[in-house]
Chain A
Amino acid sequence: MSGRNATIEVGATSSALVALIRSEWGKAWSVRAPAACLAGAVLLAAGTAFTLANDQVRAMQTGEIPVGTLVPVAEILASSVMFAQMVVVLAALQLVTPEYASGQIATTFLSHPRRWVVVLTKAAVAGVLGGLTGLLTGPLCVAATELALGDAPRATVPAAEAAVMTAGVFACAAMVAVALGFLTRSGVAALSVAFVLLVLTLAAPAATGKVFPGVAGSALVSGTGDPYARWAALLVLLAWVVASVGAAVVSVERRDA
């Protein structure tokens, strides 16, 4: 009964924001799916890296590639990360679309009625989860690649560099995924759009493809300068994050929950 004789507090406060972040962080861990997806992303990326590196070794043994060619570890890393980021997207969507499917979103908005803060908080939580997963995934992919290459000559990537770049791509993918989840309110729809944006655009003509986050992510991780340098790739990715999260905020604020 203590709270009921107090005056009613109005307006935003940092303590309410901190409380919301703690709640959303706790929600991400109180069901198994997000953690399972993130673990899956790490294993998938490392497994892909090992397989791709092994293919290079085989190609050298069969003479497809001249013996002594430097194997580009950065490109193997980029391919593996691009593949695994869809599972990171799946993990991030777990923070949003099941809430719409179950109606929990009403409880969330009742607990914190400033909806734009909810959208930004979920995006931030997903970004941190994606980033942490990336920090683990990058070096693990490099290690898997090195393991498969044996003593074949390679142009290697420092573990720290692989960690930071992979973290950047996973964090951005997770935040875009949260935005798509809010925009579509459907897991299947959000995943489909994310697949087009992040994966299918890799196969698009270079001139068109380079404005999409898939190509930008690949350029950020590989650092080959194709089609642009890392700083430009990072700008493209951040632009997608800002635009999609911004659109999600506008949409969620406007429509009925």
Chain B
Amino acid sequence: MRIDDRARRPAFRTFVGTGRQSGPVIVVPMLQFAEISKRYGPVTALDHVSFRVEEGTVTGLLGPNGAGKSTLMRLLVGLDRPTSGSATVAGHRYRDLRWPLRVIGTHLGGRPVHRRRSARAHLRSVALTHGLARARVDEVLELTGLADVAHRAAGGFSLGMGQRLGLAGALLGDPAALVLDEPVNGLDTDGVRWIRELLRLLADQGRTVLISSHLMSEVQLVADRVVVLGGGRLLADTTVAELAGRARDEVVLRTAEHGADDRLRALLPDAAIRPVDDQCDDGAWRVTGASEREVGLAARGADLTVLHLARETADLEAGYLTLVGDRGQQVDSVEAR
């Protein structure tokens, strides 16, 4: 697999014409969710969620546990039926795709393999459904680092090996798009680094990736865009940079004196100042809305002994937390798009 220039690869772009030569041409997004809802009895797992994933982009799907991330992925690939709305892959319902694994590879976590079947036999059985060559099975086994254990029954695999086997299955059809639910779960440090490099490679090849993860730092490293779900609703559909930018940089100031915040506030009227530790006043403060220089000058003006002064850059995690709240469920105050 060679790394290609994304711009030169209009693979799988589907055009829907109006039938007239002069009419407008609509480019169908790779993955599209339109007003999709899913209720399990009284529980609403997803509530009218709409967004699209354009071809060649890597999109991180974020949200607290129970936000509906896995449900959304299952609806996309037709494992669950939506209560209303629709999900399409390149403009088609998944079940209408003739060779679905060549269009979109899916790994929904867990180890969806017969416990007694070897990894190689499992992948061969999947390959047979799409008329894929045996050599392709060996290729993905090699790519996912499972070649040495391919003869072993999948039931004995560790969580990390199970993740690799799931990824191998998703990559088998050399698909244009990938849907991965928590692929980093259970991987050790080497595994996490491996999957980061694999995702970068897949993105560089121009594949469309939708990946859910709890690890913000991983998403920040690989994703172009993020979609945030909370309580079954869409909270944000934006770029990684924009979401990270929603959290403001903070300056952390540690002083030898206690109870100095009133003196600081007097000198920094526009800044928000709160203690690092809400439980006790140990002379350390988090300041937003002022630069390091301004905080430093204010500390000198207030005649404080500065022990530590540093700026903390806002990252995706901070932006995410401003959106879903520290407890993950304070979503009602946030305007859904």
Query: Which residues of A come within 8 Å of B, CB atoms?
Result: 1-5, 8-13, 15-16, 19-20, 22-23, 26-27, 30-33, 98-99, 102-107, 109-114, 254, 256-257
- Besides A12-B98, A27-B117, A107-B112, 18 more A-B contacts (Cβ < 8 Å) are A3-B174, A19-B129, A19-B130, A22-B128, A26-B124, A30-B122, A30-B124, A31-B121, A99-B114, A102-B115, A103-B111, A103-B112, A104-B114, A107-B113, A107-B122, A110-B77, A113-B77, A113-B97
Q: Does B100 have its Cβ within 8 Å of any Cβ on chain A?
A: yes
Residue of A8, A103, A257 with most partner-chain B CB within 10 A: A8
Q: How far is the CB of A231 from chain B (nearest CB, A)?
A: 38
- Given A8-B14, A99-B114, check contact A23 B102 (CB 8 Å): no
- Given A3-B173, A103-B112, A256-B81, check contact A112 B11 (CB 8 Å): no
Residue of B77, B79, B175, B205 with most partner-chain A CB within 10 A: B79
Q: Is the CB of A23 within 8 A of B125?
A: yes
Q: How far is the CB of A113 from chain B (nearest CB, A)?
A: 4
Q: Which residue of B lies closest to A113 (CB)?
A: B95
Find B95's partner among A104, A114, A254 (CB 8 Å cutoff): A114
Q: Which residue of A lies closest to B130 (CB)?
A: A19
Q: Is the CB of B112 within 8 A of A104?
A: yes
Q: Which residue of A lies closest to B96 (CB)?
A: A10
Find A107's partner among B90, B115, B169 (CB 8 Å cutoff): B169
CA distance A103 to B155 in the complex (A): 12
Top 8 nearest A-B pairs (CB, nearest first) are: A23-B128, A113-B95, A103-B112, A30-B121, A9-B98, A111-B129, A256-B80, A257-B79
Contacting residues of chain B (279-335) with chain A, CB-CB under 8 angstroms = none
Which residues of B lie under 8 Å from residue A23 when comparing CB positions? Answer: 125-126, 128-129
- Given A26-B124, A106-B79, A109-B78, check contact A11 B96 (CB 8 Å): yes
B side interface size, CB within 8 A: 52
Q: Which residue of A lies closest to B179 (CB)?
A: A110
Q: Does B223 have its Cβ within 8 Å of any Cβ on chain A?
A: no
Q: Does B94 have its Cβ within 8 Å of any Cβ on chain A?
A: yes
Q: Does B20 have its Cβ within 8 Å of any Cβ on chain A?
A: no
Which residues of A lie under 8 Å from residue B193 when comparing CB positions? Answer: none
Which residues of A lie under 8 Å from residue B77 when comparing CB positions? Answer: 110, 113
Q: Is the CB of B112 within 8 A of A113?
A: no
Secondary structure of the A contact surface, majority rule: helix
CA distance A197 to B20 in the complex (A): 61
Q: Does B52 have its Cβ within 8 Å of any Cβ on chain A?
A: no
CA distance A122 to B266 in the complex (A): 77
- Given A8-B12, A9-B99, check contact A1 B106 (CB 8 Å): no
Q: Is the CB of A113 within 8 A of B78?
A: yes
CA distance A114 to B98 in the complex (A): 9
Q: Does B103 have its Cβ within 8 Å of any Cβ on chain A?
A: yes
Task: Please name 19 pairs of A and B residues whose Cβ atoms are closer than 8 Å in the assembled complex, sorted by A.
Answer: A1-B1, A1-B174, A3-B99, A8-B97, A11-B96, A11-B98, A19-B128, A19-B131, A26-B121, A26-B124, A27-B125, A32-B116, A98-B115, A102-B113, A103-B111, A104-B112, A105-B112, A107-B112, A109-B79
Q: How far is the CB of A178 from chain B (nearest CB, A)?
A: 16
Contacting residues of chain B (58-82) with chain A, CB-CB under 8 angstroms = 74, 77-81
Q: Is the CB of A104 within 8 A of B113?
A: yes
Q: Is the CB of A110 within 8 A of B106?
A: yes
Q: How far is the CB of B158 from chain A (nearest CB, A)?
A: 16
Number of A-B residue pairs, CB cutoff 8 Å, is: 125
Which residues of A lie under 8 Å from residue B11 when comparing CB positions? Answer: 4-5
- Given A98-B115, A104-B113, A256-B81, check contact A20 B102 (CB 8 Å): no
CA distance A79 to B134 in the complex (A): 45
Q: Is the CB of B98 within 8 A of A13?
A: yes
Which residues of B lie under 8 Å from residue A104 when comparing CB positions? Answer: 112-114, 122
Residue of A2, A105, A111, A114 with most partner-chain B CB within 10 A: A111
- Given A1-B2, A27-B125, A31-B116, check contact A111 B101 (CB 8 Å): yes
Q: Which residue of B lies closest to A253 (CB)?
A: B81
Q: Is the CB of A26 within 8 A of B99?
A: no
CA distance A102 to B80 in the complex (A): 18
- Given A10-B92, A33-B116, check contact A3 B102 (CB 8 Å): yes
Q: Is the CB of A8 within 8 A of B103?
A: yes
Find A26's partner among B4, B12, B125, B131 (CB 8 Å cutoff): B125
Q: Is the CB of B81 within 8 A of A4?
A: no
CA distance A98 to B113 in the complex (A): 9
Q: Is the CB of B79 within 8 A of A30?
A: no
- Given A10-B92, A10-B96, A113-B78, check contact A15 B131 (CB 8 Å): yes
- Given A20-B129, A107-B126, A107-B169, check contact A113 B114 (CB 8 Å): no
Q: Does B87 have its Cβ within 8 Å of any Cβ on chain A?
A: no
Q: How far is the CB of A49 from chain B (nearest CB, A)?
A: 31
Which residues of B lie under 8 Å from residue A257 when comparing CB positions? Answer: 74, 79-80
Which residues of A lie under 8 Å from residue B111 when comparing CB positions? Answer: 102-103
- Given A4-B174, A19-B130, check contact A98 B98 (CB 8 Å): no
Q: Does B176 have its Cβ within 8 Å of any Cβ on chain A?
A: yes
Which residues of B lie under 8 Å from residue A30 when comparing CB positions? Answer: 117-118, 121-122, 124-125
Which residues of B lie under 8 Å from residue A114 when comparing CB positions? Answer: 95
CA distance A109 to B112 in the complex (A): 11
